[in-house]
Amino acid sequence: MSILEAQNLFKTFHKPGSQAEGVAAIRGIDLAVNVGEFVAITGASGSGKSTLLHMLGGITRPSSGRVLLEGVDLAGLDDDALALVRRRRIGFVFQRYNLLPELSLLENVALPLVLDGTSERACEQAATAALEAVGMAHRAGHRPDALSGGEQQRGAIARALVTGPAIVLADEPTGALDSANAQRVIELLQRLVTDRGQTVVLVTHDAATAAAAGRTVRVRDGLIESDSHPVQGMPTTKALGS
Ligand SMILES: Nc1ncnc2c1ncn2[C@@H]1O[C@H](COP(=O)(O)OP(=O)(O)O)[C@@H](O)[C@H]1O
Ligand SMILES: [Mg+2]
């Protein structure tokens, strides 16, 4: 069953106030992701990987086309509703871990739940469980600057998992790590997929990292150039003739 679908997705960036044509970053992408898949989106720098991932995760609104997460059309949501879906159903992991320096690792991981008004006790329990899942429970009380890059990224992955999201989206999560730490982060993502059935979509320009995923989608100039294991999505509105 597909959990995430992009249908006929386009994104053009315009300079504010400019009459120029703009940058066509994504130029018509259809992509369906099944529950429990580990998908790598790969391609050269500037090919549109991050723009695509940000649209899949409701961070960037498409110029046209639809993104369906668990059957919900993200374009149909206002900003507040979209923020809720992002917080509750999507776990985002960035190249720079984006942990807040003044909070402990446990507090960082709990943050999405705290923002959601979850009770203190439930926040702590869920954050501890998420830290255990990434092998970082022993560092719960440390501030981010006391942790290595690899440890911070594992913490950021715990934060992405804490709400029990439908999907984890990761943009170059190993891009700032040395090869040993990169390998650990990739193995961790693999384990989340195989042991917990977590759906993961990862962006990387690195072929070795992409090879860790079960499926590789190659993007070039804003289009899908190849897909090792394409998934049949729902018929697009275009195909339905409306
Ligand atoms: N906010 C933006 N404003 C203008 N152009 C952008 C913006 N974000 C990305 N682009 C352009 O869109 C294209 C795709 O960028 P991006 O999705 O970041 O590629 P990748 O992640 O594959 O390196 C590039 O030409 C980039 O310069
Ligand atoms: Mg990018």
Write the DSSP string, 181-226.
HHHHHHHHHHHHHHHH--EEEEEES-HHHHHTSSEEEEEETTEEEE
Long-range CB pairs of 55-58 (<8 Å, 24+ gap) are 55/6, 55/9, 55/11, 55/26, 56/4, 56/6, 56/31, 56/169, 56/201, 57/86, 57/90, 57/92, 57/169, 58/82, 58/85, 58/86, 58/90
Query: pTM score, two decimals?
Result: 0.94
242 CB near ligand 1 (under 6 Å): no
Q: How far is the CA of 172 from the centre of ligand 2 (A)?
A: 7
pLDDT at 233: 83
Distance CA 75, CA 232 (A): 21
- Please report, in tens digits, the pLDDT of each residue of the chain (242 residues total): 799 999 999 999 998 887 788 999 999 999 999 999 999 999 999 999 999 999 999 999 999 999 999 999 999 999 999 999 999 999 999 999 999 999 999 999 999 999 999 999 999 999 999 999 999 999 999 999 999 999 999 999 999 999 999 999 999 999 999 999 999 999 999 999 999 999 999 999 998 899 999 999 999 999 999 999 999 887 655 555 44
Query: For the domain bounded by 35-62+78-228, which CATH number is listed?
Result: 3.40.50.300
The pLDDT score that the predictor gives to residue 121 is: 97
Out of 51, 95, 221, mutate this one to test ligand 1's pocket (max ligand atoms within 8 Å of CB): namely 51
Q: What is the pLDDT of residue 232?
A: 85
Q: Any idea what DSSP says for residue 48?
A: S
What is the side-by-side order of every strand in the sheet holding 72-73?
A: 23-34, 2-13, 64-69, 72-73
Four-point Cα dihedral 158, 42, 38, 212, nearest 10: -90
For the CA of 25, the nearest ligand: 1
Provide the pLDDT for residue 237. Answer: 53
How high is the pLDDT of residue 242? 41
Distance between CA 228 and CA 217 in Å, rounded? 6
CA dist 35 → 85, 100, 170, 193 (Å)? 17, 31, 16, 10
Assign 63 to helix, strand or coil.
coil
Among 50, 31, 34, 41, smallest CA distance to 216 is for 41
58: its two tokens: 């409701």
Q: Which residues lie closer than 8 Å to 81 by C-beta, 6 or more apart? A: none
Instruction: Give, for ligand 1, the residue of 9, 11, 13, 95 to mutate: max count of ligand atoms closer than 8 Å to Cβ.
Output: 13
Q: Which two tokens stand for residue 101?
A: 């320096």
